Amino acid sequence: MFNVMRVTFIFLLACLFSCSSKSNTSESPSEPNEANTTEVALSKGQVLIESSDCQTCHHVKNNLVGPSYTAIADKYENSSATVTYLTSKIRLGGSGVWGDVPMLAHPTLSDEDAAEMVSYIMSFKSTQ
């Protein structure tokens, strides 16, 4: 009986030490590559849109009060000029481009955050 307990104790002790989560590897954090940077930008833009009032009037594929994100992305060239233009539209609001219903202004939104939102919207551009 004593030997069985001793063997069991040694076995459990070995299992405990082999399952230790402590790691002595010295890996440096990986540098973000372009793909990872794009994913981060997209997810930040998505988070900003989901936490704002955008979804009241816009949807990814369906036109609601305003155009869908896909329609917006397909209408404009994916360029820095477009990002600047749409960033301004988000912050200042406007009407006439997609009809008579005006888009509400979002003046408290920073240019950087609005640009992240535009980048997210432009990710829905159809491949043509």
The answer regarding whether domain 56-128 maps to CATH 1.10.760.10 reads yes
Tokens of 67: 């155009």
pLDDT, position 43: 77
Where exactly are the structural domains of the chain?
Answer: 56-128
Binding site for heme c, by residue number, is: 54, 58, 103
Name the residue with tokens 């009809």.
99
Cα torsion 23, 25, 26, 28 to 10°: value is -90
Contacts of 106 (CB under 8 A, 6+ apart): 52, 90, 91, 93, 114
Residues of the chain with pLDDT under 50: 20-21, 25-33
- Non-local (6+) Cβ contacts of 16 within 8 A are none
Q: Specify binding-site residues.
A: 54, 58, 103
Q: Strands, E, within 1-119: which ranges?
A: none
Note the pTM of the prediction, 2 decimals: 0.66
Residue type, 102: P
Q: Which residue has the tokens 């816009």?
A: 58
Q: What per-residue confidence (pLDDT) applies to 56?
A: 94
Report pLDDT for 121: 95
pLDDT of residue 70: 96
Q: What is the pLDDT of residue 4?
A: 66
